[in-house]
Structure 1
Amino acid sequence: MPAYHSSLNEEPDVRQVGNMSILPIKTKIRGPAPLADPNSADIIDETLDLFRANSLFRNFEIKGPADRLLIVLILFVSDCLAKLGSQRSPPSQLEAGKTLNTLSVDNFPIPGDANFALNAHYAPPQSRVDGEYLRQYLTQVRQELAARLIERLYMDGSGKPSKWWMAFQKRRFMNRSLGS
């Protein structure tokens, strides 16, 4: 059974930095990301919907530039769950939000950096300006992804993260980690 790919691979008129798509997102967080239609799914919704199914796969065929962004975001969700799971007791929703927001804005490698885990599959940005734009875009997307992940983790109102999500804290998509 093949892994699930992004439905946004065929989107027309999408900016690319390196060979990664810069897709619109629904957000209130300031940053360079284009704004998406509030009534349609964006790459963050797609990441959260496909995370658990795709995290079971060791191989992933990249079919387009949106898949490259999807891979980075799935690995970030995996790092978020590992960070929450490494705490001694399950964090409250507020504590988890603070932890993941800090993780999302921490310095992280982008394609082209020496310590980026997937450099073999990603083209580096063409210029320093493009590289800075990509870093700002990914920071904004990571912040929005962390906020939406917290909503899903604590959806039941029990004050504890969902065991159906936390079961994936040790799973590694493609046996990789972003190293956050």
Structure 2
Amino acid sequence: MPAYHSTLNDEPDARQVGNVSILPIKTRIRGPAPIADQSQQDIIDETLDLFRANSLFRNFEIKGPADRLLIILILFISDCLQKIQTQRATPNQLEASKLLNTLAVDNFPVPGDATFQLNAHYAPPANRNDADYLRQYLVQTRQEIAARLVERLYADGTGKPSKWWMSFTKRRFMNRSLGTN
């Protein structure tokens, strides 16, 4: 059974930095991302929907620039779940939101940086401006993922994260981590 790929790989108007798509997202967080139509599924929704299924795969064939963004975002979700799991006391929804938002804006490597784990699969940005733009875009998408992930983790109203999501802390997509823990 093959891994699930992004349906946004064929977006005709998507800007690319290096070989990563800059896709529109539904957000109220300030940043350089184009604004998506509220009635359509964006890359954040798609990542959250595909995370658990794709976490089971050790190999992932990249079929387009949106898949490269999907990989980065799935690995970030893994790091978010790991961060919540490693807390001494299980955080409530507000604490988890603060924790993940801090993780989202912390310094992290982007494609082209020497410490980026997947440089073999990513082209570096063409220049410094593109690299800064990509970093700002990824910070914005990470913040949006953190906000939406917390909503899903605590959707049952018990004040504890969903065991169905937290069970994926033991799984590593492609056996990798972005190293943001």
Q: TM tier, shorter chain? A: over 0.9
Runs of 4+ in 1 over 3 A off after TM superposition: none
What does 1:60-139 align with in structure 2 at a 5 Å threshold?
Answer: 60-139=60-139
Distance in 1 separating the partners of 2:74 and 2:111: 16
Distance in 2 separating the partners of 1:51 and 1:13: 25
1:140 aligns with 2:131: no
* Equivalent position amino acid for 2:66 in 1: A
* Equivalent position amino acid for 2:116 in 1: F
Distance in 2 separating the partners of 1:96 and 1:14: 32
1:159 aligns with 2:162: no
Deviation at 1:115, TM superposition (A): 0.2
Distance in 1 separating the partners of 2:171 and 2:99: 20
* Equivalent position amino acid for 2:109 in 1: P
Aligned to 1:12: 12
Distance in 2 separating the partners of 1:82 and 1:169: 5
Report the aligned-residue RMSD.
0.4
Distance in 1 separating the partners of 2:88 and 2:22: 37
Q: Deviation per CA, 1:41-93: give whole Å up to 9, x if none.
A: 00000000000000000000000000000000000000000000001221100
Distance in 2 separating the partners of 1:155 and 1:66: 28
Q: Deviation per CA, 1:148-172: give whole Å up to 9, x if none.
A: 0000000001000000000001210
Identical-pair percentage:
78
* Equivalent position amino acid for 2:172 in 1: R
What does 1:39-50 align with in structure 2 at a 5 Å threshold?
Answer: 39-50=39-50
Distance in 1 separating the partners of 2:22 and 2:100: 22
Distance in 1 separating the partners of 2:102 and 2:70: 21
**What SS does structure 1 have at the residue aligned with 2:16?**
strand
1:179 aligns with 2:151: no
Distance in 1 separating the partners of 2:178 and 2:172: 10
Distance in 2 separating the partners of 1:128 and 1:11: 25
Distance in 1 separating the partners of 2:130 and 2:76: 21
Deviation at 1:127, TM superposition (A): 0.4
Distance in 2 separating the partners of 1:76 and 1:14: 22
Number of residue-to-residue matches in the alignment: 180
Q: Which runs of 5+ in 1 are unaligned?
A: none
Q: Which runs of 5+ in 2 are unaligned?
A: none
Aligned to 1:168: 168
TM-score (norm 1): 0.99
TM-score (norm 2): 0.99
Distance in 2 separating the partners of 1:148 and 1:26: 11
* Equivalent position amino acid for 2:10 in 1: E
